C-alpha cells in the first residue's frame, strides 16, 4: 500500500468541473443539481477497497449527515478500474455505502474523465465547494491514517465551518493521502506519475 498525496491542481476559487454520473437508481447527478438550494457541496473521490477510505468511511457517513443538517450536500465518486479491481464495481459500491452509513450518492466514473477533471490522485480525495460551486478547500479529512489515530474529520470540519461563516480557509491545505486511483491501463492522466 503506497501513500499517494493529492496533486491540488484545482486552485482556490476554481469552478467545480461539471459531470453527469449515474447514482444507484440510474438517475444522472451533476454538481448543479446536487448543490441546488444548498450552502455547498463536498465531492469525495473514494473506493471500496482502499485501507485509507475504509479507515474513515464510518466517520465520513456521520460527517456527511452532520453537514447535511447544516445545509451542505455530499457526493462520493469512485473512478477505479473495475476490471482489475472488481471490489470497486458499482454493484459492490451500493453495499459498501449502506454498510458504512452513507446516505449520500456514491457515483461511478467509468471513463475516469471526472477524476481527471478534478485532478484527483488518490482515494480518499476531498473537494469542498460553496453554493456557487467555487472551490473553498481541497485537502485531507484529518491527519489520522490507517493504524494511526481515529478519524474525526477535523481539517474538513474547519473548512466547512469557515464556509458557513463566509470566511476563507487559509493555507496550508494539507493534501489528502491514500491509495492511488486505479487508472485503466493507458488512461493515466498527465499529472499522474
Instruction: Please report the pLDDT score of residue 1 as a whole number.
Output: 43
- pLDDT for 148: 95
Q: What is the pLDDT of residue 7?
A: 47
Average pLDDT for residues 74-78, to the nearest whole number? Answer: 98
pLDDT digits (tens, 9 = 90+) for 18-62: 999 998 888 999 999 999 999 999 999 999 999 999 999 999 999
- Tell me how far apart the alpha carbons of residues 131 and 32 are, in angstroms, rounded to a whole number: 9
Average pLDDT over residues 111-135: 97
Per-residue confidence at 192, pLDDT binned at 50, 70, 90? low
Look at residue 191 in the predicted model and tell me its pLDDT: 81
CATH number at residue 110: 3.40.30.10
Q: Is residue 48 part of a domain?
A: yes
Is residue 75 included in any domain, yes or no? Answer: yes
Query: Does residue 32 belong to any structural domain of this protein?
Result: yes
80 is in which domain, residue-wise?
A: 4-180
How many beta carbons lie within 10 A of that of residue 74, not counting itself? 25
How many C-beta atoms lie closer than 10 Å to residue 25's C-beta? 6
Q: Is residue 191 part of a domain?
A: no
For the chain, the domain total comes to 1
Residue 193 lies in a domain: no
CA 124 – CA 52 distance, rounded (Å): 7
Q: Is residue 58 part of a domain?
A: yes
CB 106 within 8 A of CB 94: yes
Residue 142 predicted with pLDDT over 70: yes
Categorize the per-residue pLDDT at 172 as very low, low, confident or very high, splitting at 50, 70 and 90. Answer: confident
Task: Answer whether residue 186 is part of any domain.
Answer: no
Q: Is residue 2 predicted with pLDDT exceeding 70?
A: no
Mean pLDDT of the chain: 93
3-17, 53-67, 109-123: segment of lowest average pLDDT:
3-17
Query: pTM of the full predicted structure?
Result: 0.94
Residue 163, pLDDT above cutoff 80: yes
Average pLDDT over residues 154-182: 95
CA–CA distance, 119 with 138 (Å, rounded to integer): 11
Amino acid at each position: 500500500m503506497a501513500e499517494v498525496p493529492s496533486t491540488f491542481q484545482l486552485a482556490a476559487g476554481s469552478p467545480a468541473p461539471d459531470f453527469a454520473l449515474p447514482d444507484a437508481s440510474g438517475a444522472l447527478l451533476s454538481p448543479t443539481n446536487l448543490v441546488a438550494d444548498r450552502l455547498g457541496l463536498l465531492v469525495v473521490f473514494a473506493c471500496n477497497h482502499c485501507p485509507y477510505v475504509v479507515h474513515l468511511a464510518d466517520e465520513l457517513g456521520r460527517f456527511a449527515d452532520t453537514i447535511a443538517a447544516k445545509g451542505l450536500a455530499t457526493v462520493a465518486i469512485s473512478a477505479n478500474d473495475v476490471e482489475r479491481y472488481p471490489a470497486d464495481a458499482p454493484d459492490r459500491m451500493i453495499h459498501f455505502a449502506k454498510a458504512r452509513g452513507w446516505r449520500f450518492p456514491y457515483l461511478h466514473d467509468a471513463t475516469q474523465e471526472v477524476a481527471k477533471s478534478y485532478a484527483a490522485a488518490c482515494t480518499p480525495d476531498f473537494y469542498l465547494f460553496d453554493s456557487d460551486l467555487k472551490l473553498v478547500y481541497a485537502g485531507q479529512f484529518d491527519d489520522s491514517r490507517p493504524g494511526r489515530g481515529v478519524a474525526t474529520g477535523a481539517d474538513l470540519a474547519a473548512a466547512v465551518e469557515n464556509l458557513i461563516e463566509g470566511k476563507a480557509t487559509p493555507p496550508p491545505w494539507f493534501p489528502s493521502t491514500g491509495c492511488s486511483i486505479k487508472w485503466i491501463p493507458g488512461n493515466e492522466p498527465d499529472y499522474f506519475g
